[in-house]
Amino acid sequence: MPITIRPLEHDDIPRIMEIEHRCFDSDVWESAEIYGERIDTFGHGNLGFFHGGILIGFLWCELWKREVQYDLARFELSHHPRQFFDPNGTELYISSFAVDPDYRHLLRGKEAFSLGMARMRETHPFESAILLVSAQWHAARTIYTQWGFSEVQRIEGFFTDASGRHHPGILMRTTPR
């Protein structure tokens, strides 16, 4: 069975929450309400990866007007997506990306990220992309680096792991096209 990609819908939110809880520490979980607001704000910017009708991963994006440097408050978890959304924006902010561990034998993170970014480039041509990743998420950082992201700034203590230790968040960005 092939992997299919489609925009996420409100009916997908319970499964989105399951995947999020399986892939991330509780300090970065976002609410179902925030996911609903993201769908309402930029429906085609939130992609689901499906296998046999089952949601196995997602890529959540926002479209922003590109700025050389953003106020770091913009990257706070659970910010309202309408606050910064610009339908004519040229920078893609990747707010979340995950593949359910039980399905990674069918869709590896690197492949999912490439598929999602290619779809976003087709539907919303952007000039650059930016994201925030924990310094502890080595596999994710490798994927992003391979896709052309590079570190632009660190935010000390942004993430907390399950043991309560704080780790830096790393802002990564692609070069404008």
Condensed to tens digits (0 to 9), the pLDDT of residues 82-136 reads: 889 999 999 999 999 999 999 999 999 999 999 999 999 999 889 999 999 988 8
- Read off φ and ψ for residue 69, nearest 5 degrees: -140, 130
What's the whole-number average pLDDT of the chain?
A: 90
CA distance 43 to 126: 16
Helix (H, G, I), strand (E, B) or coil at 136: coil
- Read off φ and ψ for residue 156, nearest 5 degrees: -60, 135
Is the predicted pLDDT of residue 57 greater than 90, yes or no? yes
User: What are the strands, taking DSSP E only, across the chain?
Assistant: 3-7, 46-51, 54-64, 91-99, 128-134, 150-160, 166-173
Residues 167-177, mean pLDDT to the nearest whole number: 86
> pLDDT (tens digit, 9 = 90+) per residue, 13-38?
999 999 999 988 777 788 899 999 99
- The pTM of the full predicted model, rounded to 2 decimals, is 0.90
The pLDDT value recorded for residue 177 is 60
The pLDDT value recorded for residue 61 is 94
Pairing mode of beta strands 166-173, 3-7: unpaired
List all residues 6 or more positions away from 9 whose beta carbon is below 8 Å from its beta carbon: 39
Residue with tokens 């502890």: 136
The pLDDT value recorded for residue 158 is 83
Which among 149, 67, 159 has a CA at the least distance from the CA of 113? 149
Is the predicted pLDDT of residue 6 greater than 90, yes or no? yes
- Ordered structural domains, the chain, with CATH: 3-173 (3.40.630.30)
